[in-house]
Amino acid sequence: KEVEQDPGPFNVPEGATVAFNCTYSNSASQSFFWYRQDCRKEPKLLMSVYSSGNEDGRFTAQVDKSSKYISLFIRDSQPSDSATYLCAMSGAMDSSYKLIFGSGTRLLVRP
């Protein structure tokens, strides 16, 4: 598989820190993203992942291109964070801009 992602589910108490990881095989991948997908809904872009890492509130995303994995951390998790989280990355050095997705990790945050 081009992208490997732990399917979970992750079942954590409210307030926990959660970490999601994806490993990928294509060293040509240049752009990376995390999506959130609620049950029976479309994926929605959560964060782009920059080489220097980036943070948005309780969410932090990182990429390690030498080891070929990307990470998403959620601090102080809330029940409203319960969803499936998908990683995505560009698949090739071409102009198609198509993304390859992981299979998603389900998260359940217990109140």
Partner 1 sequence: DGGITQSPKYLFRKEGQNVTLSCEQNLNHDAMYWYRQDPGQGLRLIYYSQIVNDFQKGDIAEGYSVSREKKESFPLTVTSAQKNPTAFYLCASRWGENYGYTFGSGTRLTVV
The footprint of partner 1 (CB under 8 A) covers: 3, 5, 7, 30-31, 33, 35, 40-45, 48, 86, 88, 90, 95-104
Place of tokens 């932090």: 60
Q: CA-CA distance, 61 to 20, in Å (whole number)? A: 9
Nearer to partner 1 (CB atom), residue 11 or residue 78: 11
Q: Quote the tokens at residue 54.
A: 């980036």
Q: Which is nearer to partner 1, 96 or 111 (CB)?
A: 96
DSSP 41: S
Q: How far is the CB of 49 from partner 1 (least distance, A)?
A: 10
- Distance CA(76)–CA(50), nearest Å, equals 22
Residue 60 or 90 having the CB closest to partner 1:
90
